[in-house]
Amino acid sequence: AQSVAQPEDQVNVAEGNPLTVKCTYSVSGNPYLFWYVQYPNRGLQFLLKYITGDNLVKGSYGFEAEFNKSQTSFHLKKPSALVSDSALYFCAVRDQTGANNLFFGTGTRLTVIP
Amino acid sequence: DSGVTQTPKHLITATGQRVTLRCSPRSGDLSVYWYQQSLDQGLQFLIQYYNGEERAKGNILERFSAQQFPDLHSELNLSSLELGDSALYFCASSLGGASHPETQYFGPGTRLLVL
pLDDT tens for B88-101 read 999 999 997 656 77
Omega of the bond leading into B101 within 30 degrees of 0 (cis): no
The alpha-carbon gap from B115 to the nearest alpha carbon of chain A, in Å, equals 21
- CA B73 → CA B3, B48, B112, distances in Å? 13, 12, 20
The alpha-carbon gap from B17 to the nearest alpha carbon of chain A, in Å, equals 25
pLDDT band at A56 (very low <50, low <70, confident <90, very high): very high
Q: Give the nearest partner residue to A100 out of B31, B105, B108, using CB atoms.
A: B31
Mean pLDDT of the A21-44 span: 92
Determine contact: A5 vs chain B, CB below 8 A.
Answer: no
The alpha-carbon gap from B50 to the nearest alpha carbon of chain A, in Å, equals 10
Q: For chain B, positions 52-81, list CB contacts with chain A under 8 A.
A: 55-56, 58
d(CA B32, CA A107) in angstroms, rounded, equals 23
Cβ-contact A87, A110 below 8 angstroms = yes
Q: What is the pLDDT of residues B1-48, one digit of tens each?
A: 889 999 999 999 999 999 999 999 999 999 999 999 998 888 999 999
Asked if the Cβ–Cβ distance from B90 to A43 is below 8 Å, we say yes
| Span of B14-18, B101-105, B110-114 with lowest mean pLDDT | B101-105
Asked if the Cβ–Cβ distance from A103 to B103 is below 8 Å, we say no
